[in-house]
A = this chain, B = another copy of it.
Amino acid sequence: MAAPAGFTLGELAAALGATLEGDPRRVVRGVAPLASAGPDDISFLIDPRYRDAALASRAGAFLTPPNAADLPAPALRCAAPQQALIQLLNLFHPEAPAKPGIDPAAVVSADAHVDGSACVGALTVVEAGARIGAGVRLYPLVYVGPGVEIGDGCIIYPHVTLRDGVRLGRRVIVHPGAVLGADGFGYAFHEGAHRKIPQVGGVRVEDDVEIGANTTIDRATFGDTVVGRGTKIDNLVQLGHNVEVGEHCIIVSQVGVSGSSRLGRGVVLAGQVGVADHVTIGDGAVIGGRSGIAADVAPGEKLLGTPARPILQAKRIMLAEGKLPELLQRVRALERRLQALEGGAAEADDAGA
């Protein structure tokens, strides 16, 4: 992502709707974190805990919240500095422009519909009946199966597989190697062998979803596996057949969600979490890293561990586990002491009799 020649602070203040404290003609040529920024870079101080690093920074300018105190270089003050940083990064690192059109080395079925503003990369295959929307970017070496629908503005990276029955909304990003629409894992044991249950459903991905590299989302047995609007999925995640993920969820790397489970809206599954099949996780629930979810989770719950428990309880148990070997010894000591005492008490009984 090549950066342009640079911007004046005045230009940036106008673009970001920021209040500039300093010389509007000063030019910056890049964005960098506090520690590595040089005099030609603009840096950012969003979290006040990093104030000392900002004071020590060599940055030529800073992006800050309205109330950040004196800084060693001009400041662009913004009400929402993290959003301004996103804008700033997009200004300095614009998406490399992709020339609309179908690369001569692509293999596109005559029965596919590709919008004139879409870009189909070299050695990408688009099968019959597929529909590619406006402004879509298919990188090289993508496989788009028969009848697949790709909404406007999607970006599909190399080596992605979209099998038949997959439909993507608008502005969906699918990272390299992801597989959407592979058969769900369904068999019935009969006469000594596992018989494959045909998986005749599809996968529906709503607008503004992002799907990580080498992630796999299986087609439904019937109906659709669904990923709701605005949900972000990291790398190497597995979503089984008929899983339904609500809107604006966060699913971190290496999570697995088994068949027919449902996530509500705004659910967070941290890394390596496993969810059993046919489980419902309520809106806004947050599941800590490496937890195992085997039963329904109420909305808003914050769970951790296997089995998953409320996070404070889980941490108390983990602490207590650390004392378990010592606890065994203490109980053994109690038993001995009590036995001695019971002998003594018997004597005392005798004495008192």
Chain A contacts to B: CB under 8 angstroms: 1, 31-33, 36, 80, 82-83, 85-86, 89-90, 92-93, 96, 105, 107, 121-123, 125, 139-141, 143, 146, 157-159, 161, 163-165, 173, 175-177, 179, 182-183, 185, 187-188, 190, 192-198, 200, 208, 210, 212-214, 216, 218, 222-223, 230, 232, 234-236, 238, 240, 248, 250, 252-254, 256, 258, 271-272, 274, 276, 289-290, 292, 294, 306-307, 309, 313, 316-325, 327-328, 330-331, 334-335, 337-338, 341-342, 344-345, 347-352
A sample of 18 more A-B contacts (CB under 8 A), given A83-B195, A321-B321, A341-B345, is A31-B200, A85-B197, A158-B161, A173-B183, A175-B183, A177-B179, A179-B214, A194-B250, A240-B253, A253-B256, A258-B289, A274-B289, A319-B325, A320-B328, A321-B324, A327-B327, A347-B352, A348-B349
Instruction: Jot down 20 A-B pairs with beta carbons below 8 A, ordered by A.
Output: A36-B223, A83-B190, A85-B197, A86-B195, A89-B200, A93-B200, A125-B158, A141-B159, A143-B159, A157-B161, A159-B177, A179-B214, A185-B232, A193-B248, A216-B235, A274-B289, A317-B322, A337-B338, A351-B351, A352-B352
**A292-B289, A345-B348 known; A83 vs B188 contact (CB < 8 Å):** yes
Do A254 and B256 contact each other (CB < 8 Å), given the known contacts A141-B125, A177-B159, A216-B236? Answer: yes
The reply to whether B334 and A328 contact each other, CB–CB distance below 8 Å, is no
Pair B253/A238 contact, Cβ less than 8 Å = yes
Q: A82-B190, A185-B252, A222-B33 are in contact. Are A93 and B198 (CB under 8 A)?
A: yes
Q: Which residues of chain B are near A272, meaning CB under 8 Å?
A: 256, 272, 274, 292
The answer to whether A196 and B214 touch across the interface, beta carbons within 8 angstroms, is no
In the complex, which residues of chain B have a beta carbon less than 8 angstroms from the beta carbon of A271? 238, 256, 258, 274, 276
Q: Quick one: closest B residue to A91, CB to CB?
A: B198
- List B contacts of A164 (CB < 8 A): 1, 96
- Give complex CA distance A306, B318 in Å: 8
A182 neighbours in B (Cβ, 8 Å):
157, 175-176, 212-213, 235
Number of copies: 3
Top 7 nearest A-B pairs (CB, nearest first) are A351-B352, A161-B176, A89-B198, A143-B158, A182-B213, A179-B213, A320-B324
Nearest-neighbor residue (CB-CB) of A250 within chain B: B194
Pick the residue among B122, B236, B347 that contacts A125 (CB under 8 A): B122
Q: Contact partner of A107 among B83, B105, B292, CB < 8 A?
A: B105
| Interface contact B338-A335, CB-CB below 8 Å | no
Q: Is A176 within 8 A of B176, CB to CB?
A: no
B232 contacts A194, C-beta separation under 8 Å: yes
**B contact residues around A289 at 8 Å (CB):** 258, 274, 276, 292, 294
If A141-B143, A222-B32 touch, whether A274 touches B250 (CB-CB below 8 Å) is: no
Is B216 a contact partner of A212 (Cβ separation < 8 A)? yes
Give the complex CA separation of A113 and B184 in angstroms: 32
Closest to A37 in B: B222
Whether B253 contacts A33 by the Cβ 8 Å rule is: no
Min CB–CB distance A144 → chain B (angstroms): 10
Report if A196-B86 is in contact (Cβ < 8 Å); known contacts: A182-B235, A185-B253, A236-B236. Answer: yes
Residues of B near A179 (CB, < 8 A) are: 159, 175-177, 213-214, 235
List residues of chain B with CB within 8 A of the CB of A344.
345, 348-349
